[in-house]
Amino acid sequence: MRAVTFYNTLGRRLGPFEPLELGKVRFYTCGPTVYNHAHIGNLRTFLFEDLLRRGLRFLGYEVTQVMNVTDVDDKTIREAAAAGLSLDDYTAPYIDSFFEDLDTLHIERAEEYPRATHHIPEMIAMVESLVAKGYAYVADGSVFFRIAEDDDYGRLSGFDLAEVRQGERVASDEYDKEDVRDFVLWKGAKPEEPSWDSPWGPGRPGWHLECSAMSMRYLGETFDIHTGGVDNIFPHHENEIAQSESTTGKPFARYWLHAEHLIVDGEKMSKSAGNFYTLKELLAQGVEPRAMRYLLSSTHYRKKLNFTLEGLADASAALRRLDEMRFRLDHAREEAAEPSLVAATGEALERFTEAVADDLNVAGCLGTVFGFSKKVNVAIEAGELGPGDRERVHRLLARFDELLGVLDPAAWQPAETGEAGDDAAIDALVAERQQARESRDFVRADEIRDELAALGIAIEDTPQGPRWKRQ
Ligand code: AMP
Ligand code: ZN
**Of the candidates 449, 456, 419, 420, the residue with the CA atom closest to the CA atom of residue 432:** 449
Q: Whose CA is nearest to atom 12 of ligand 1?
A: 229
- Whole-angstrom CA distances from 337 to 326, 333, 383, 393 are 22, 12, 11, 17
Among 211, 231, 234, name the best residue to mutate to test ligand 1's pocket (greatest count of ligand atoms within 8 A of Cβ). Answer: 231
Rounded to the nearest 5 degrees, what angle is found at the Cα of 124, between the Cα atoms of 142 and 37? 85
List pLDDT tens digits, range 425-466. 888 888 889 888 888 989 888 888 888 888 788 888 888 788
Question: Of all atoms in ligand 1, which is nearest to the CA of residue 38?
Answer: 2
Asked whether residue 90 carries a pLDDT value surpassing 90, the answer given is yes
Per-residue confidence (pLDDT) for residue 239, from 0 to 100: 97
- The answer for residues whose C-beta is within 8 angstroms of residue 350's C-beta and 6 or more apart is none
Nearest ligand 1 atom, CA 42: 8
> Is 3.40.50.620 the CATH number for 4-259?
yes
296: left (phi over 0), alpha (psi -120 to 50) or beta: alpha
- pLDDT tens by residue, 313-324: 999 999 999 999
Q: Which pLDDT score, from 0 to 100, does residue 417 have?
A: 47
Using CA atoms, how far apart are residues 442 and 435, in angstroms rounded to an integer?
10
Average pLDDT over residues 243-254: 98
Q: How far is the CA of 229 from the centre of ligand 1 (A)?
A: 5
Q: Do 4-259 and 279-412 agree at the fold level?
A: no
Segments making up each domain of the chain, as ranges: 4-259, 279-412, 415-470
Ligand 1, CB within 6 Å, residue ranges? 30, 32-33, 41-42, 44-45, 70, 228-229, 231-232, 259, 261-262, 269
Burial class (CB in 10 A: 0-12, 13-18, 19+), 317: exposed
Q: What is the mean pLDDT of the chain?
A: 93
Give CA–CA dist 94/278, Å, rounded.
12
Nearest listed ligand to the Cα of residue 213? 2
What lies within 8 Å, CB to CB, of 220 at 6+ separation is 26
Helix ranges (H only) for 168-278 are 207-219, 238-248
Identify the DSSP state of 222: S
Nearest CA to ligand 1 atom 17: 41
- Structure confidence at residue 471 (pLDDT): 76
Residue 175 has what pLDDT? 54
Provide the CATH number for the domain formed by 279-412 in this structure: 1.10.730.10
> 172 pLDDT exceeds 60?
no
Strand 13-17 with 203-205, pairing: unpaired
Residues 242 and 147: beta-carbon distance below 8 Å: yes
- pLDDT confidence tier of residue 420, bands split at 50, 70 and 90: low
- C-beta separation of 325 from 300 below 8 A: no
The one-letter amino acid at 340? S
Phi and psi of 225, rounded to 5°? -130, 140
Kindly report, residue by residue over 102-158, the tens digit of the pLDDT. 999 999 999 999 999 999 999 999 999 999 999 999 999 999 999 999 998 999 999
Q: Are the CB atoms for 51 and 403 separated by under 8 Å?
A: yes
* Positive or negative: CA dihedral 150, 151, 156, 158: positive
Q: Which one has a higher pLDDT value, 131 or 270?
A: 131
What pLDDT score does 415 carry?
56
- Residue 109: name the closest of 202, 185, 29 by CA: 29
Distance CA 236, CA 226 (A): 12
Task: For residue 240, report the distance from its CA to the centre of ligand 2, in Å.
Answer: 8
Dist. CA 246 → ligand 2 center (Å): 17
